[in-house]
Amino acid sequence: MASTRAEPAVDRRRQILDAAIRVFARQGFHSCRVSDIAREAGVAYGLVYHYFKSKEEVLNELFSERWSLLLAAIEEIDARPIPPRAKLDAVAGFIIDSYRHDPELMKVIVVEVTRAANSFGRTHLPEIRQAYDLIAKIVSDAQASGAFRDDVDPTYASMWFYGAIEQLLSAWVFELIPAGDGEFENAREMVVETICGGLER
Amino acid sequence: MASTRAEPAVDRRRQILDAAIRVFARQGFHSCRVSDIAREAGVAYGLVYHYFKSKEEVLNELFSERWSLLLAAIEEIDARPIPPRAKLDAVAGFIIDSYRHDPELMKVIVVEVTRAANSFGRTHLPEIRQAYDLIAKIVSDAQASGAFRDDVDPTYASMWFYGAIEQLLSAWVFELIPAGDGEFENAREMVVETICGGLER
DNA sequence: CCTTCTAGATTGACTCGTCAATCAATCGGA
DNA sequence: TCCGATTGATTGACGAGTCAATCTAGAAGG
């Protein structure tokens, strides 16, 4: 009963996804070949097509898998009975921690999807917008409660906030600025301080 | 004397560059063919290779041509004897006006270069960083003069500022938010108000 | 004013390498 | 024995870049 057909001893699918993260992070989606993923996973070329419809589907799966966690996290944070600044701080913390714990996957997500607005970004626009909308809701509620000034459109505010964090991740990914536990903490505090500072009354 | 060898009646090179802007904006760099550019320019396929070494060189040329204008503008603005907030307002205004006047070119620059951090963004990193550095200098001077609080790293501050504007352009490019003269003015005011609000003492 | 002449401009069919995707064959556990 | 898992050689499409041929406009010469 330990391993049935539905749960084989080795999860090939997972193995291929994990290999794809490393390969996409190292070479980029467009300049890697499916054979690179297969070799990295230690499986035959054709097996990738047994588990996935196409090369694109591998990336789509990686993105959706992770992004749904982000959306769930933001919703959970928003439900907490804490001030808006603390909510945004928690959201920034979640995203930055995601990078801290799995920089390769976050690199792939940011570089190949989130910032690739006219290829995969297009495909996943609805999911990406959901994140913006959730952040905009936090801002909007904060304005209604009087914590934030109400002369800044929440839609714009969510763009400044998410944009600042994404810019940060990009800078770490491409080693424009040093990365490390100290920098992660510091950057989170500064981005929240700056953006919330500008949004609060 | 009106037209010599050095200055032909029709500037084919320009004609090809302009066609490339439209094609890149419409289809994206990777999913367009060189033949698309040639057809759009009303020119034979091979002529593109007479004026440019490769498809990539066409994009590089478009980017560098425009980015150097941006760098010059920021430097000129920084030299003006005005307060830091007015400088950042002018920089935001310049970038947003660039989009207003030539949305297709700006779309290409943002989507294919600036946000494409692991393809063309890599190639042009030095030029892109120059813009960050110039903005960071404005912030740094503002901190030295006491106008801005000095507990936010100017490098980070320049990322928040530029990142917010880039996010805005992206949103207009992909029609996530409405674009128009009113929105352009409004967005400029709001981004400067929010970011400077967070950076000032 | 007409005729070569020549260099650069212009043409587009063709070459050549690269992969994504397929598929027939083989394996291995229940 | 059977069926899904696994293999990897093969196919087929695609598109960047090449190149030999052709054109054109001004220069040189008569």
SS3 assignment for chain B: CCCCCCCCCCCHHHHHHHHHHHHHHHHCCCCCCHHHHHHHHCCCHHHHHHHCCCHHHHHHHHHHHHHHHHHHHHHHHHHCCCCHHHHHHHHHHHHHHHHHHCHHHHHHHHHHHHCCCCCHHHHCHHHHHHHHHHHHHHHHHHHHCCCECCCCCHHHHHHHHHHHHHHHHHHHHCCCCCCCHHHHHHHHHHHHHHHHHHHEC
Give the sign of the dihedral formed by CA A78, CA B168, CA A171, CA A64: positive
For tokens 């996409």, name the residue.
A24
Structure tokens at B46: 């091979």
Of A168, A176, A194, the CB nearest to B152: A194
Is A193 a residue whose pLDDT tops 60? Answer: yes
B160 touches A195 (CB < 8 A): yes
pLDDT on residue B9: 57
Query: How many Å apart are A50 CA and C23 C1'?
Result: 12
Strand partners, A148: A200
8 Å CB contact of A187 and B118: no
Q: How far apart are CA A45 and CA A21, in angstroms?
A: 16
Of B31, B156, B187, the CB nearest to A156: B187
Q: Nearest chain A Cα to B114, which residue?
A: A115
The answer to pTM > 0.85 is: yes
Structure tokens at A58: 């591998």
8 Å CB contact of B162 and A167: yes
Strand partners, A200: A148
Q: What is the DSSP letter of B59?
A: H
State how far the alpha carbon of A37 is from the alpha carbons of A47, A48, B102, in Å: 11, 8, 40
Q: What is the DSSP letter of B75?
A: H
Query: How many Å apart are A4 CA and D2 C1'?
Result: 17
Is A2 a residue whose pLDDT tops 80? Answer: no
Up-side HSE of residue B168: CA atoms within 13 Å toward CB?
30
Q: How far apart are CA A40 and CA A197, in angstroms?
A: 46
8 Å CB contact of B119 and A28: yes
Q: How far apart are CA B156 and CA B135, in angstroms?
A: 10
Binned at pLDDT 50, 70 and 90, residue A118 comes out as: confident
Q: For chain B, give the mean pLDDT.
A: 94
Q: Who among residues 21-60 of A has its Cβ near strand C, under 7 Å? A: 31-35, 45-46, 49, 54-56
- Say which amino acid occupies A99: Y
- Say which amino acid occupies A155: T
List the pLDDT tens digit at each of the 201 positions of chain B: 333 334 455 799 999 999 999 999 999 999 999 999 999 999 999 999 999 999 999 999 999 999 999 999 999 999 999 999 999 999 999 999 999 999 999 999 999 999 998 899 999 999 999 999 999 999 999 999 999 999 999 999 999 999 999 999 999 999 999 999 999 999 999 999 999 999 998
Q: Is the C-beta atom of B126 closer than 7 angstroms to strand C?
A: no
Length of chain B: 201
Buried-exposed string B51-63: b where 16+ CB fall within 10 A, e elsewhere: bbeebeebbbbbb
Query: How many Å apart are A37 CA and C30 C1'?
Result: 31
- The dihedral region occupied by A26, where left means phi > 0, alpha psi between -120 and 50, and beta the remainder, is alpha
B58 closest CA partner among B83, B97, B23, B100: B23
Q: Nearest chain A Cα to B189, which residue?
A: A152
pLDDT tens digits for A144-189?
A: 999 999 999 999 999 999 999 999 999 999 999 999 999 999 999 9
pLDDT on residue B180: 96
pLDDT on residue A192: 97
Q: What is the DSSP letter of A31?
A: T
B91 closest CA partner among B194, B192, B195: B192
| Contacts for B68 with CB less than 8 Å, ≥ 6 apart | B127
